[in-house]
Structure 1
């Protein structure tokens, strides 16, 4: 394969460690309403679009209110964490975005709503480098549907097969694979991709420090 032209990053769990923040916020709401938060809930909701996980919270976790009200409540909690500096920025994330932006077009394709994509990129200090930002809210389906990645490639003006996705989760990898993209997995404990999905990634790296122009050349040569 030729060297990938474009790089499309996931956000949650790939650039910022918000998976723990989402879990804390959602668990806190469930407990405050007198409900348990099952261990599977976090993994179940990974990659879901906002309408999808809001419905899950109502139907499976017993949240009161409409889906729109539930979404606003959870998103506000995560936004507060960003603004208070309580979201961990993953090691090497900002530098990786800068390196990739220096070599070609980049984008973010995330299941987060637009306001949280903006908050995450601003926290990393790379908001000015990422002009293409696609939320699954805008395409009507969350990961593992390929739509969010297909839309990111469309806006970048590249074919999916000429782009590489940087992902951390099972649903994210499935989304990028279904879009026909090269995939690089950056597993983040404790919610690592399922083994049968991780083995399908074109490469698995221990950290974003490995994401360099030379790495992408080698990836395309495999």
Structure 2
């Protein structure tokens, strides 16, 4: 689907999601959370996988305790999960093929930022592994705003820190809650659906541009800039 005509008068920045867009980590988050819940005697629910995607750390850790029965405090649950994720990243985060190149190519055209539900330590791991720290002007975790995705807070704050209007930004997203968040922020959304956890078709139908591969992104951005 490509509805570029009349989508945007001008682009001032591109804001990337991280998990599922630049890093192949959605399955890892799911595995780590499921294992921790089982070990602690909680009960996993199948709807939990999609519900948790996009939540900030305080939100998903409370969900593990209140909804899935993990007998810990939310802070303890978060520490366990993030610690195990950090261990998985010790040999380098699972950067998706072409992700670094796409960010660099887009960054040559306009300012770029990251607005992610991952904690800052994992965002930093990605930036350091790809040497993108100097190029990505703002790297924001939803821990640093009032509410995680699908609320628009992290995208609105990233745009504000870049000093650009939200409606002059492109957001690149993959998940249902991420797409909802960027749409609610009033941004032009480019969807790159996660093949492991495809977004809700009704939500994806609201997205003006859907790409099969991140490699298509630089040319798509170039068309929106012209």
Aligned with 1:25 (options 18, 32, 45): 32
4+ residue stretches of structure 1 with deviation over 4 A? none
Q: Which runs of 5+ in 2 are unaligned?
A: 1-7
Q: What is the match of residue 122 of structure 1?
A: 128
Distance 1:12 1:56, change over 3 A: same
Q: Which runs of 5+ in 1 are unaligned?
A: none
Aligned with 2:64 (options 39, 57, 68): 57
> Tell me, what secondary structure is at the counterpart of 2:147?
coil
Distance 1:7 1:91, change over 3 A: same
After TM superposition, give the deviation of residue 101 of structure 1 in Å: 1.2
Name the structure with the higher helix share.
Answer: 1
> What is the alpha-carbon distance in structure 2 between the residues aligned to residue 161 and residue 131 of structure 1?
18
Aligned with 1:75 (options 82, 100, 103): 82
> What is the alpha-carbon distance in structure 2 between the residues aligned to residue 77 and residue 42 of structure 1?
17
Deviation string 1:172-210 (CA, Å, 9 cap, x unpaired) is 111111111000000012211101110111200011100
> Tell me, what secondary structure is at the counterpart of 2:207?
coil
Q: What is the match of residue 152 of structure 2?
A: 146
TM-score (norm 2): 0.92
> Tell me, what secondary structure is at the counterpart of 1:132?
strand
Residue pairs, 1:50-199, within 5 angstroms: 50-85=57-92, 87-199=93-205
After TM superposition, give the deviation of residue 220 of structure 1 in Å: 5.9
Deviation string 1:107-133 (CA, Å, 9 cap, x unpaired) is 000111111111122233322321301
> What is the alpha-carbon distance in structure 2 between the residues aligned to residue 68 and residue 30 of structure 1?
14
Matched residue count: 219
TM-score (norm 1): 0.94
Deviation string 1:31-80 (CA, Å, 9 cap, x unpaired) is 21233422221111001011110010001222121111111111011111
